């Protein structure tokens, strides 16, 4: 009888733990931002990491545009590949739990899109097609920056 109560208590604690983890995985650590966007609250070093990754994506897009202007498809592939999924694989799991699921979906989708651009370029796609793909990818950047801000925890 006592072992049944202990097992039931352990099971209940496990369910509560999983539910809390799932809640934070979906919602992240957010608050209402000063400008109406949702603010993702991170430690200063985590904020710096996320913003650094965003700057890297912007540099890659600039590289794609510059290479497209020079009709240099191999450079387009190189720029896009530099910020593909391989670059997102080493993110800290604790940081990932603080990011809302929509934010993660936009970010991971963007990295995946960059791999698709690189693959298309490596497969011989024409510059106008690669620019069309890059434009669609940039729509994710705009959507993210329109909805979210990154705030350092106090």
| Predicted local distance difference test score (pLDDT) of residue 80 | 98
Residue 28, pLDDT score = 62
Is residue 148 one of the residues assigned to a domain?
Answer: yes
Task: Dump pLDDT digits (tens) for 85-104.
Answer: 987 766 778 888 889 999 99
Number of residues written out for the chain: 154
- Cα separation, 114 vs 77, in Å, equals 9
Which residues share a beta bridge with 151?
41
Q: pLDDT-derived band of residue 11, with 50, 70 and 90 as boundaries? A: low
Strand arrangement, sheet containing 30-32:
30-32, 38-42, 148-152
CATH number, residue 59: 1.20.120
Domain membership flag for residue 73: yes
Q: Per-residue pLDDT tens for 117-128? A: 999 999 999 999
pLDDT recorded at residue 82: 95
SS3 149: strand
Three-class secondary structure assignment of 31-77: EECCCCCEEEEECHHHHHHHHHHHHHHHHHHHHHHHHHHCCCHHHHH
Which pLDDT band holds residue 144 (cuts at 50, 70, 90)?
very high
Helices 2-27 + 101-122 axis angle, to 10: 60
Segment 15-30, tens digit of pLDDT: 555 555 555 555 568 8
Q: What is the pLDDT of residue 96?
A: 85
In a domain, 128, yes or no: yes
Are 80 and 64 in contact by the 8 Å Cβ rule? The answer is: yes
Answer whether residue 109 is part of any domain: yes
Reported confidence tier of residue 5, pLDDT bands at 50, 70, 90: confident
Residue 43 belongs to some domain of the structure: yes
pLDDT in tens, 25-47: 555 688 888 899 999 999 999 99
Nearest partner of 113 among 95, 88, 93, 90, judged by Cα = 88
Domain count for the chain: 1
Per the structure, the complete domain to which residue 111 belongs is given by 29-152
Q: Is 152 helix (H, G, I), strand (E, B) or coil?
A: strand
């Amino acid at each position: 009888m006592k072992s049944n109560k202990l097992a039931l208590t352990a099971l209940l604690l496990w369910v509560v733990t999983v539910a809390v983890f799932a809640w934070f995985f979906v919602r992240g650590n957010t608050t209402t931002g000063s400008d109406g966007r949702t603010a993702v609250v991170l430690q200063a070093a985590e904020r710096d990491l996320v913003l650094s990754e965003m700057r890297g994506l912007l540099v890659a897009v600039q590289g794609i545009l510059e290479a497209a202007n020079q009709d240099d498809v191999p450079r387009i592939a190189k720029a896009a590949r530099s910020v593909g999924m391989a670059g997102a694989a080493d993110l800290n799991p604790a940081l990932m739990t603080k990011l809302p699921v929509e934010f993660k979906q936009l970010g991971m989708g963007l990295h995946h899109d960059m791999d698709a651009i690189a693959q298309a370029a490596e497969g011989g796609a024409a510059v106008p097609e690669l620019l069309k793909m890059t434009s669609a990818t940039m729509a994710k950047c705009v959507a993210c920056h329109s909805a979210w801000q990154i705030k350092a925890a106090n």
